[in-house]
């Protein structure tokens, strides 16, 4: 229900922007920042420069190609499709193809849905534990990399990955038990 509400609100901004209202257009782009950041962050594993690059590329595309939005359809699906395309394009340019298979098929809702609310909860929770542990957990638990892959990506040893993951999970469990919210 929350997502419906959000999509309707953002859709109204979009329609006003399409009618020539610059303030509404800016408000829409600003409202997209958070869902876009969390969308790219959980797929790029916390490389913040890349995340912000992709966020900006997506915003520019949303702006330049807004004529391709069909007002009869949910706005989230449209933004999501653009973000997903930008991510795939980035992978292609860097010569990585394997990760494409991991991308979910076109969802009908974008990050305004409950899953992403849960995701951003996870993101916030991960921010409370040491950086290395959070990075290891993002790589192994959220992105599903193997221990070896995560070790290579993060430039640390495999045993370090295992230890960090173990400590990270313990720390998270403690936070949750402490009534984190």
Give the total of residues touching other proteins (CB under 8 A). 36
In sequence order, what are the residues at sequence separation of 6 or more whose Cβ sits closer than 8 angstroms to the Cβ of residue 44? 50, 51, 54
146 binds other proteins (CB under 8 A): no
Question: Site for other proteins (CB under 8 A): which residue of 9, 45, 50, 52?
Answer: 52
d(CA 73, CA 143) in angstroms, rounded, equals 30
Question: Site for other proteins (CB under 8 A): which residue of 23, 94, 97, 159?
Answer: 23
Q: CB under 8 A: which stretch of 42-50, 78-86, 121-129, 154-162 binds other proteins?
A: 78-86
Q: CB under 8 A: which stretch of 50-58, 113-121, 125-133, 148-156 binds other proteins?
A: 50-58
33 binds other proteins (CB under 8 A): yes
Q: CB under 8 A: which stretch of 69-77, 118-126, 145-153, 165-173 binds other proteins?
A: 69-77
Q: How far is the CB of 176 from other proteins (least distance, A)?
A: 31
- SS in 3 state form for the chain? CHHHHHHHHHHHHHHHHHCCCHHHHHHHHHHHHHHHHHHHHHHHCCCHHHHHHHHHHHHHHHHHCHHHCCCCCCHHHHHHHHHHHHHHHHHHHCCCCHHHHHCCCCCCCCCCCHHHHHHHHHHHHHCCCCHHHHHHHHHHHHCCCCHHHHHHHHCCCHHHHHHHHHHHHHHHHHHHHCCCC
82 binds other proteins (CB under 8 A): yes
Q: CB under 8 A: which stretch of 79-87, 115-123, 125-133, 137-145 binds other proteins?
A: 79-87
Site residues, other proteins (CB under 8 A): 17-23, 25-26, 29-30, 33, 52, 55-56, 59-61, 63-70, 73, 77-78, 80-82, 84-85, 89, 106
């Amino acid at each position: 229900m929350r997502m419906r509400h959000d999509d309707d609100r953002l859709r109204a901004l979009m329609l006003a922007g399409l009618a020539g209202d610059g303030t509404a257009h800016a408000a829409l782009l600003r409202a997209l920042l958070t869902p876009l950041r969390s969308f790219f962050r959980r797929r790029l594993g916390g490389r913040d420069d890349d995340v912000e690059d992709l966020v900006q590329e997506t915003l520019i595309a949303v702006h330049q190609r807004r004529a391709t939005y069909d007002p009869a359809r949910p706005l989230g699906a449209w933004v999501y499709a653009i973000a997903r395309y930008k991510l795939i394009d980035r992978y292609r340019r860097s010569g990585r193809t394997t990760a494409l298979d991991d991308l979910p098929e076109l969802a009908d809702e974008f990050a305004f849905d409950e899953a992403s609310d849960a995701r951003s909860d996870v993101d916030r929770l991960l921010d409370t534990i040491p950086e290395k542990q959070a990075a290891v957990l993002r790589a192994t638990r959220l992105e599903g990399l193997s221990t070896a892959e995560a070790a290579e990506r993060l430039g640390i040893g495999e045993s370090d990955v295992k230890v960090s993951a173990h400590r990270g999970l313990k720390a998270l469990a403690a936070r949750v038990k402490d009534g984190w919210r």
